[in-house]
């Protein structure tokens, strides 16, 4: 019965609207002409429009729960270029929050690649490289932003050559422990020059970190070109 009642009122509204359109388009008829109207039509209009208006006012213009959840999910995903691959040149503690007082939840290894985002107060959230939705609740933890560098970093270090057999030291000084020896003619990658001592690396090393160094060599013993034949 309710469906039939609504249908009949809708039919009456359509007829009234049609009649109004005829009056507007008929030649010689002005807009000041009185249009037939009755309370039945008014009740029909109110019964259809009023409930929707009241519901909108009660909601205060807010989205439904499902629409709100979808909006939050979309806004939580980063589309602004964040999420680039980064790495560190030393072991870095992963924190539960953006402070050194937060609980340690793991460590980033030297050269370990991670995605980053949600940078705030000098800290960045880090994610697995395979992560496709960078939502903060999916982060592995937080690390100081200054310790992160782009994984696709430019070429670092220099290639130097030894013209004589040379000792590799554990530190920058002739009184430090001997770790090994490099033969004459050996090529090495060098970096981190301090106090006239270089940290030396295998020429294939890709991670710029002193932790990956073979040791230290006195800088004057290294040459720019290979040993002449």
| Strand-pair partners of 187 | 161
The share of the chain scoring above pLDDT 70, in percent, equals 62
pLDDT bucket at 163, cuts 50 / 70 / 90: very high
Say if residue 197's pLDDT is above 70.
yes
Give the domains, in start order, of the chain with CATH numbers: 2-59 (no CATH), 78-150 (2.30.30.40), 158-223 (2.30.30.40)
- The verdict on pTM exceeding 0.85 is no
Say if residue 5's pLDDT is above 50.
no
Q: Average pLDDT over the chain, rounded to whole?
A: 74
Predicted pLDDT at 48: 57
Once rounded to an integer, what is the mean pLDDT over residues 14-30? 47
Give 6 or 139, the one with higher predicted confidence.
Answer: 139
The DSSP annotation for 4-56 comes to HHHHHHHHHHHHHHHHHHHHHHSTT--TTS-----HHHHHHHHHHHHHHHHHH
CA 73 to CA 79: how far, in whole Å?
12
Give 30 or 95, the one with higher predicted confidence.
Answer: 95
Predicted pLDDT at 72: 35
113-139 pLDDT tens trace: 899 989 999 999 999 988 888 889 999
CA 133 to CA 141: how far, in whole Å?
15
- How do the residues of the chain divide into helix, strand and coil, expressed in percent and rounded to 5? 30, 30, 40
């Amino acid at each position: 019965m309710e469906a039939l009642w609504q249908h009949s009122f809708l039919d009456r509204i359509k007829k009234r609207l049609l009649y109004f359109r005829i009056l507007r388009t008929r030649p010689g008829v002005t807009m000041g002409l009185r249009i037939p109207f009755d309370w039945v039509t008014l009740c029909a209009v109110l019964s259809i429009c009023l409930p929707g208006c009241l519901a909108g006012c009660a909601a205060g213009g807010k989205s439904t729960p499902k629409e709100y959840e979808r909006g939050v999910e979309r806004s939580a995903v980063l589309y602004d270029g964040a999420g680039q691959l980064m790495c560190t040149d030393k072991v870095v503690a992963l924190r539960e929050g953006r402070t050194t007082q937060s609980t340690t939840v793991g460590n980033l290894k030297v050269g370990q690649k991670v995605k980053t985002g949600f940078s705030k107060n000098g800290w960045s959230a880090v994610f697995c490289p395979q992560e496709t939705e960078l939502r903060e609740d999916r982060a592995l933890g937080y690390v100081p932003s200054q310790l992160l560098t782009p994984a696709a970093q430019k070429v670092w270090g220099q290639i130097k050559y030894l013209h004589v057999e040379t000792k590799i030291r554990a530190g920058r000084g002739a009184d430090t422990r001997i770790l090994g020896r490099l033969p004459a003619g050996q090529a090495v990658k060098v970096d981190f020059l301090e106090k006239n001592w270089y940290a030396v690396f295998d020429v294939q090393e890709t991670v710029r970190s002193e932790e990956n160094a073979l040791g230290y060599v006195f800088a004057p013993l290294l040459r720019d070109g290979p040993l002449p034949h």
